[in-house]
C-alpha cells in the first residue's frame, strides 16, 4: 500500500503517526514538508480530500499566525493558503495519504488507523498511552 506522510520530526503527534504507519507494516514516503512544502494545488487538494476547511488546516497556535494577522475572519481561503505556502510551519500536521483516504492526524495520531489496513499487536505512543491492544484493536 502506498502511504505518504507530511512529517515534522520535531512533532510528537507526527512521530506517533509515523510509528503507527510502520506498526501496520508499511514504510511510507516521508515528506518533511518544512523542507519540501507542497505546492498550492496539492495543499488545496489535501485539505479538501481530508474534508477540512482551510482554517482547520492552519496552525493557529504558531506565533506566525498572529504576527501575520491570520486570525482576521475576513481573510479568504486564498489568503490563508498563500500564508501557509509562504510559511510552511503554518501547515498543520501530519497529513497522511493512503488509497483509503486522507487525514489530518491531529490532535490524535490514532486517526491514521481509519485509513490503514488492520494492525496486529499492541501499540503505545511515545508517552506510553495504549492505542492498540494485544489483539490490534483500537483502544478509545
Classify 39 as helix, strand or coil: coil
**pLDDT attached to residue 120:** 86
Q: What would the pLDDT profile of 11-46 be if each residue is shown by its tens digit?
A: 999 999 999 999 999 999 999 999 999 999 999 999
Set 3, 9, 11, 132: catalytic member: 11
Catalytic (active site) residue 11: yes
**Mean pLDDT calculated for residue range 39-55:** 98
Q: What is the CATH number of the domain that holds 89?
A: 3.40.30.10
Q: What would the pLDDT profile of 74-103 be if each residue is shown by its tens digit?
A: 999 999 999 999 999 999 999 999 999 999
Maximum Cα–Cα distance across the chain: 49
Residue 137 lies in a domain: no
pLDDT exceeds 90 at position 140: no
Other Cβ atoms less than 10 A from the Cβ of 116: the count is 20
Q: What would the pLDDT profile of 107-125 be if each residue is shown by its tens digit?
A: 999 999 999 999 889 999 9
Overall domain count for the chain: 1
Amino acid at each position: 500500500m502506498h502511504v505518504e506522510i507530511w512529517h515534522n520530526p520535531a512533532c510528537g503527534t507526527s512521530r506517533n503517526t509515523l510509528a503507527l504507519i510502520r506498526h501496520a507494516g508499511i514504510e511510507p514516503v516521508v515528506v518533511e514538508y518544512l523542507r519540501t512544502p507542497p505546492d498550492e494545488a496539492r495543499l488545496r487538494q489535501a485539505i479538501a480530500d481530508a474534508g477540512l476547511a482551510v482554517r482547520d488546516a492552519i496552525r493557529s497556535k504558531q506565533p506566525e499566525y498572529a504576527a501575520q494577522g491570520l486570525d482576521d475572519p475576513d481573510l479568504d481561503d486564498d489568503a490563508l493558503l498563500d500564508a501557509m505556502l509562504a510559511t510552511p510551519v503554518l501547515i498543520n500536521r501530519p497529513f497522511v495519504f493512503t488509497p483509503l483516504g486522507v487525514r489530518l492526524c491531529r490532535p490524535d495520531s490514532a486517526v491514521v488507523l481509519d485509513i490503514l489496513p488492520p494492525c496486529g499487536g499492541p501499540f503505545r505512543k511515545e508517552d506510553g498511552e495504549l492505542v492498540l491492544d494485544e489483539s490490534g484493536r483500537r483502544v478509545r
